[in-house]
């Protein structure tokens, strides 16, 4: 026992009112263990199925308690695409997020990953961005909870940084820029709290745009007298659009439709003339398509 000693600082002790169901006379080793080091106890008596399999009933309050330190977990969900390889996801987010803590990742489903981010400030930053772009695939992030749905939300709007250029000087104000940017959808914030007093004809702003309306390159600013000024729009980043299914958030190589068709071809020998050989491709570097500066 001495070689496997568990220190008090490394465990989460059970509550004092925890209901024990063990018989110390039956389990001598458990009874002899130092109570200050022990953090697990018998919580219920098992029943047995017909084949002898033990069955335990989990009470509701245990289910509601959820994952240990669950506030430290973030759920990542890829949008309607086959996700990039797990090794790439691990390498990328450990590179981007691990300045203050080590990031661990667990795959939950075909398009869902659970990220453990112990540092609160890093976790807040990751969640505030909302979306992350990995190898031409969009990934939504949200706090993990026991009731978290694994249904991937449909992308209808995204936040994106744009630069407005050729802004008329008379409109170089927060109200003026708000009116101009309303032509894109929902203006959110300027890049800096105060407008630049030197570059008075352009402004970098964050807007939420509707994907169904496209991405206009100009906005016509019209005053009440009918005078129109054309303001140019430059986008810092735009999501990939699949040429096969028409959905935003991925390219053809990650399209679910292509996966379905490949499965059909594999099932039909006439559609798959391959001699059965397998090609293995190894990648040692992150792809250039990774976009860490979405927001």
Parse the chain into domains and list their residue ranges: 70-143, 157-235
| Model pLDDT, residue 283 | 36
Query: Does residue 145 contact residue 75 with C-beta atoms inside 8 Å?
Result: no
| Model pLDDT, residue 291 | 43
Q: Which of 79, 50, 184 is nearest to 142 (CA)?
A: 79
| Model pLDDT, residue 153 | 61
* Tokens describing residue 284: 């040692």
| Model pLDDT, residue 66 | 66
Where does residue 96 rank: exposed (0-12), middle (13-18), buried (19+ CB within 10 A)? middle
Residue 254: other Cβ atoms inside 10 A: 22
Asked if the domains 70-143 and 157-235 are classified in one and the same CATH topology, the answer is: yes
Can you give the pLDDT of all 295 residues of the chain as single tens digits? 445 444 444 444 445 445 556 666 777 787 888 888 877 877 788 888 999 889 888 887 777 666 667 889 999 988 777 788 888 999 999 999 988 999 999 988 778 899 999 999 999 999 988 888 888 788 889 888 776 555 656 677 888 899 999 999 999 999 999 999 999 989 999 998 889 888 889 999 999 988 778 789 999 999 888 888 999 999 988 777 777 777 776 667 667 765 544 444 444 444 444 444 333 333 344 444 444 444 4
Question: CA torsion sign, 85 to 283 to 141 to 67?
Answer: positive
First to last CA, the chain: 52
Question: CA torsion sign, 139 to 140 to 141 to 146?
Answer: negative
> Strand, helix or coil at 177?
helix
Please state whether 287 falls in left (phi above 0), alpha (psi between -120 and 50) or beta.
beta
Query: Does residue 162 contact residue 233 with C-beta atoms inside 8 Å?
Result: yes
Backbone angles phi, psi at 280, to 5 degrees: -110, 125
| Model pLDDT, residue 172 | 94
What's the CATH fold of domain 157-235? Alpha-Beta Plaits (3.30.70)
| Model pLDDT, residue 147 | 66
Where does residue 185 rank: exposed (0-12), middle (13-18), buried (19+ CB within 10 A)? middle
| Model pLDDT, residue 243 | 74
Spatial distance between the Cα atoms of 121 and 139, rounded to a whole number of angstroms: 20
| Model pLDDT, residue 167 | 94
Where does residue 64 rank: exposed (0-12), middle (13-18), buried (19+ CB within 10 A)? exposed
Residue 17 CA from chain centroid, whole number: 38
What's the CATH fold of domain 70-143? Alpha-Beta Plaits (3.30.70)
| Model pLDDT, residue 150 | 54
* Tokens describing residue 200: 């008075």
| Model pLDDT, residue 148 | 59
């Amino acid at each position: 026992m001495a070689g496997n000693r568990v220190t008090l600082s490394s465990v989460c002790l059970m509550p004092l009112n925890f209901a024990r169901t063990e018989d110390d006379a039956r389990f001598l080793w458990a009874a002899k263990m130092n109570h200050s080091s022990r953090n697990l106890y018998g919580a219920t008596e098992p029943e047995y199925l017909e084949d002898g399999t033990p069955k335990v009933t989990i009470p509701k309050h245990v289910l509601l308690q959820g994952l240990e330190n669950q506030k430290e977990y973030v759920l990542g969900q890829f949008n309607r695409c086959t996700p990039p390889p797990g090794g790439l996801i691990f390498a990328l987010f450990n590179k981007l997020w691990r300045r203050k803590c080590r990031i661990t990742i667990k795959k939950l489903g075909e398009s869902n990953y659970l990220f453990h981010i112990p540092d609160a400030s890093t976790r807040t930053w990751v969640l505030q961005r909302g979306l992350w772009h990995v190898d031409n695939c969009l990934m939504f992030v949200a706090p993990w909870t026991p009731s978290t749905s694994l249904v991937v939300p449909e992308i209808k709007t995204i936040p994106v940084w744009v630069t407005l250029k050729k802004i008329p000087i008379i409109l170089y104000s927060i109200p003026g820029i708000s009116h101009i940017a309303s032509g894109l959808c929902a203006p959110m914030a300027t890049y800096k709290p105060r407008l630049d007093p030197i570059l008075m004809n352009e402004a970098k702003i964050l807007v939420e745009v509707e994907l169904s309306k496209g991405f206009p390159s100009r906005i016509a600013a019209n005053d009440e007298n009918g005078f129109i000024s054309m303001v140019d729009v430059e986008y810092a980043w735009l999501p990939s659009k699949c040429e096969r299914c028409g959905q935003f958030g991925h390219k053809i190589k990650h399209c679910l439709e292509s996966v379905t068709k490949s499965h059909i071809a594999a099932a039909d020998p006439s559609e798959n003339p391959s001699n059965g050989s397998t090609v293995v491709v190894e990648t040692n570097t992150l792809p250039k398509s990774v976009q860490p500066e979405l927001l």
